Structure 1
Amino acid sequence: MLAPERQSRILKELQHHEAVRVADIAAAMNVSEMTIRRDIEVLDQSGLARKIHGGAMRLARLSALEPGFLLNVDKQLEGKLAIAQTALTLVQPGMTLALTGGTTTYQLAVLLAAEIERLRSLTVVTNSLKITELLYLQQGGSDLKVIVTGGERTPSEALVGPVARMALKNLNTDICFMGVHGLDTERGLTSPNLLEAETNTAFIEATTRLVVLADSTKFQVRSLAQIAPLAAVDTIITDHALSPAGKDLFASRVPHFIMSPASPENTRKNS
Structure 2
Amino acid sequence: MLAPERRRYLLQELSVRETVRVSEVAHTLMVSEMTVRRDIDALDGEGVLRKVHGGAARLRGTQEAEPGFSVNLGRQRQAKLAIGRAARELLRPGATIAISAGTTTYCLAGLLTGLEGLTVVTNSLTGADVARRSTGGEATVILTGGERTPSEALVGPVATAAIRSLHVDICFLGVHGIHPDGGLSTPNLAEADTNAALAESADRLVVLADHTKFGIRALAPIVPLAAVDTLITDAGIPDEVRSSYAELGVNLLVASGTGEPA
Flag whether TM exceeds 0.5 (same fold).
yes
The residue that corresponds to 2:174 in the other structure is 179
Asked if the contact 1:10–1:25 (Cα under 8 Å) also holds between the matched residues in 2, the reply is no
RMSD in angstroms over aligned alpha carbons?
2.2
Asked if the contact 1:14–1:57 (Cα under 8 Å) also holds between the matched residues in 2, the reply is no
For structure 1, the 5+ residue unaligned runs are 266-271
Q: For each residue in 1:65-108, what CA deviation from the matched residue of structure 2 results, as whole angstroms up to 9, or x when unmatched?
A: 21111001121111111111111111011111100001100111
SS of equivalent to 2:51: strand
TM-score calculated relative to the size of structure 2: 0.89
Q: For each residue in 1:138-191, what CA deviation from the matched residue of structure 2 results, as whole angstroms up to 9, or x when unmatched?
A: 44363x211111101111111111111111111111110000011011111110
Asked if the contact 2:48–2:65 (Cα under 8 Å) also holds between the matched residues in 1, the reply is no
The residue that corresponds to 1:222 in the other structure is 217
Alignment of 1:1-271 (within 5 A): 5-6=2-3, 8-16=5-13, 18-19=16-17, 20-27=20-27, 28-32=29-33, 36-52=36-52, 54-59=54-59, 60=61, 62=63, 64-112=64-112, 115-116=113-114, 119-140=115-136, 142=138, 144-264=139-259
Query: What is the aligned-residue identity percentage?
Result: 50
Asked if the contact 2:231–2:253 (Cα under 8 Å) also holds between the matched residues in 1, the reply is yes
Letter in 2 for 1:230: L
Asked if the contact 1:66–1:192 (Cα under 8 Å) also holds between the matched residues in 2, the reply is yes
Letter in 2 for 1:30: V
Alignment coverage as a number of residue pairs: 255
Asked if the contact 2:225–2:250 (Cα under 8 Å) also holds between the matched residues in 1, the reply is no
For structure 2, the 5+ residue unaligned runs are none
Q: How far apart are the structure 2 equivalents of 1:192 and 1:207?
A: 23
**Residue 58 (structure 1) shift:** 4.4
| CA distance 1:37–1:263, change in 2 (3 Å) | closer
Q: How far apart are the structure 2 equivalents of 1:141 and 1:52?
A: 40
SS of equivalent to 2:92: coil
SS of equivalent to 1:228: coil
**Residue 35 (structure 1) shift:** 5.3
Q: How far apart are the structure 2 equivalents of 1:54 and 1:175?
A: 47
The residue that corresponds to 1:268 in the other structure is none
| CA distance 1:91–1:254, change in 2 (3 Å) | farther
**Residue 6 (structure 1) shift:** 4.2
SS of equivalent to 2:94: coil
Q: How far apart are the structure 2 equivalents of 1:91 and 1:124?
A: 12
